[in-house]
């Protein structure tokens, strides 16, 4: 763990390796992935005894397992984890108290009065191996549309974000007839109308791809894009993952205007759950 107040990067790792005499490192996976592509720094870590990694998915395996399984979790049975289906093929993560396993259930020392705890993390099963789980998102991120359909946004967001011009994508639309996609581009949107039209058309092709692979087809419209303002980048954690609720608060007015502009087509009515989650944003007046 590096010095307080300093953003970790490869230069910091190199300086610590040169002058810090570090025996044990504790780092996030994203930095290990970067170190693996920095052959000039790796030899400087040979004197260290251990590198502990935790916090998110890891590109490389720490055990000899099938490469296809690197992103799956296999939890110890004494953890008391229970996975409950909340939509077809998607399971919510619960922890159930078992007095015989108290040594392995530290969360109930933090919440001594609870018998079970909903972590609100979503997982999908491994296609062939039992008790192997792939992280899928958060249950409090699920988009509940006006007709009662509930869409987990993770897969759609990942598909749109795979577009070479897209940095990040967030699906919104709780309480609406159809979802919208708040899209953060890698570069400012083109000022030339023809170039902008071409960019949007290429993103719409990715949207069509996401819709075709979705469990609920036909809900993603071609004109569902809200382009983010480069002056208001998505809010991120230290791990560079997007803080969903803070980002939605930042774009509250933009999202409202989008659905108002669709009128009856969207059946616009900002859901109370969204209103509660939005703090005072700094949307474009």
Query: What is the full DSSP assignment across 227-280?
Result: EPPTTSPPPB-TT--B-HHHHHHHTHHHHHHHHHHHGGGTT----HHHHHH--S
pLDDT at 62: 52
pLDDT at 65: 65
Q: Are 28 and 239 in contact (CB under 8 A)?
A: yes
Burial of 52 (0-12, 13-18, 19+ CB in 10 A): exposed
| Cα 258 from Cα 268, distance rounded (Å) | 9
pLDDT at 8: 75
Tokens representing residue 91 in the block: 């399971």
pLDDT at 16: 87
Residue 135, H or E segment: strand 133-138
β 150-151/50-53 pair status: unpaired
Under DSSP, the state recorded for 1 is -
pLDDT at 78: 92
**Edge-to-edge order in the sheet of strand 225-227:** 166-172, 180-185, 225-227
Q: Are 118 and 81 in contact (CB under 8 A)?
A: no
Q: Are 220 and 207 in contact (CB under 8 A)?
A: yes
- The residue ranges of the chain whose pLDDT is under 50 are 267-285
pLDDT at 58: 57
pLDDT at 186: 94
Q: Are 141 and 245 in contact (CB under 8 A)?
A: no
Helix, strand, or coil (residue 149): coil
| Cα 11 from Cα 261, distance rounded (Å) | 48
pLDDT at 117: 94
């Amino acid at each position: 763990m590096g010095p307080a107040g300093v953003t970790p990067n490869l230069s910091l790792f190199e300086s610590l390796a040169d002058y810090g005499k570090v025996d044990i490192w504790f780092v996030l996976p994203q930095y290990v992935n970067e170190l693996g592509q920095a052959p000039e720094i790796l030899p400087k870590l040979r004197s260290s005894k251990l590198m502990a990694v935790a916090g998110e998915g890891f590109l490389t395996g720490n055990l000899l397992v099938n490469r296809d399984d690197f992103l799956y979790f296999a939890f110890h049975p004494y953890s008391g984890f229970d996975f409950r289906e909340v939509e077809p093929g998607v399971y919510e993560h619960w922890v159930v108290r078992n007095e015989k396993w108290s040594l392995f259930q530290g969360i109930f020392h933090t919440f001594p009065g609870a018998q079970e705890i909903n972590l609100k993390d979503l997982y999908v099963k491994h296609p062939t191996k039992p008790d192997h789980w792939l992280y899928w998102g958060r249950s409090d991120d699920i988009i509940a549309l006006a007709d009662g359909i509930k869409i987990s946004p993770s897969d759609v967001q990942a598909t749109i974000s795979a577009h070479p011009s897209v940095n990040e994508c967030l699906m919104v639309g709780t309480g609406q007839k159809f979802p919208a996609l708040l899209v953060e581009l890698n570069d400012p949107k083109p000022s030339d109308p023809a170039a902008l039209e071409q960019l949007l058309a290429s993103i719409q092709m990715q949207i069509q791809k996401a819709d075709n692979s979705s469990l609920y087809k036909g809900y993603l419209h071609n004109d569902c894009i809200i382009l983010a303002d480069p002056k208001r980048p998505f809010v991120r954690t230290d791990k560079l993952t997007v803080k969903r609720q803070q980002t939605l608060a930042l774009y509250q007015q933009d999202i409202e205007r989008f659905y108002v502009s669709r009128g009856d087509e969207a059946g616009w009515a900002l859901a109370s759950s969204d209103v509660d989650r939005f703090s005072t944003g700094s949307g474009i007046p």
